[in-house]
Amino acid sequence: MTLYPLNIGSPEIAVRSLTKRFGEREVLREIDFKVNAGDLVAIVGASGGGKTVLLDHLTGLMIPSEGTVAVVDHTKPDTPMVDLNEIDDDRLDEVRLAWSIVFQRNALFSGTVFDNIALWLREHAGMSEEQIAQRVRESIAAAALDVDDVIGKDRDSLSGGMAKRVAIARAIAADPLVLFYDEPTTGLDPVISAQIHELIWNVHHRARQGETPVEGKAKRTSIVVTHDKDLLRRLGPRVVMLDQGRVVYDGAYERFLHSTHPAAVEYLRKMPELHGREA
């Protein structure tokens, strides 16, 4: 199925008055923000502050108690943004064809690296087995892995860092317009984490299949939930900070470092500890 990209800066996701309650506990409170095509956004905040719940709403895994999450349907270029709460499962599956999600625990299934990457392509891409094999190899190479060394490895034989890169290779193979990452460096040592930082940056700017790279132009939209201070420093993303279910900062990383908001000050002080705790 053809996916139609947006011009850089056009709205990709719009969150309006998003509130989520579990019983009497309010986890998200009146969240408002937009993600534009080409944005690289980091969602940060203390443990229990609502980051994962927000990500689950952005990807349609949860339904808001109040408010809306509207997204672009890249399979229908002339339609307005759609409210994820108002479309049926079939339409949601179509919308998700433009997305890839890299889960915190990678979500690789039992089988080889090749099997993990090829499955989505067989089900959705309409490619021949020869084309799938080529795309798998290209994606593994793009994830900075030795293709011949890892392509036949079983999931259970992969190290933590290698499994994470395979998960990213699977995301690359789908050639998505939007990538979501949930704590992509949790549990990894600093050297491997630095490689994942670089990989996220490279994938964000990597031209899609059949497109010519344009210097300085992002080809994708990336949203990263993270506690990793070094990731923020290396990528310099737009930062959205949650505290007690509310957005308390939304802006450039450089300004975030000097924010005087008490929650931001305390969070920046504790961020290395939080990153270790999530491992």
Structure confidence by residue, pLDDT tens digits, 185-200: 888 888 888 989 999 9
Flag whether pLDDT at 240 surpasses 70.
yes
Confidence of residue 32 (pLDDT cuts 50, 70, 90): very high
| 235 Cβ contact partners less than 8 Å away, ≥ 6 residues apart | 40, 42, 197, 200, 201, 224, 253
- Are the C-beta atoms of residues 148 and 106 closer than 8 Å to each other? no
**Alpha-carbon distance 28 to 47, whole Å?**
13
Confidence of residue 211 (pLDDT cuts 50, 70, 90): low
**What is this structure's pTM?**
0.89
pLDDT at position 68, please? 96
> Which of 1-10, 19-28, 84-93, 214-223 is predicted with the least confidence, judged by mean pLDDT?
214-223
CA dihedral (161, 167, 168, 172) positive or negative: positive
pLDDT at position 214, please? 54
pLDDT at position 106, please? 83
pLDDT at position 57, please? 96
Segment 121-127 mean pLDDT: 87
Confidence of residue 78 (pLDDT cuts 50, 70, 90): confident
Domains annotated on the chain, with CATH: 11-98+177-277 (3.40.50.300), 110-175 (no CATH)
Segment 136-141 mean pLDDT: 93
| pLDDT, tens digit (0-9, with 9 covering 90-100), for 161-178 | 899 989 989 998 999 999
pLDDT at position 279, please? 44
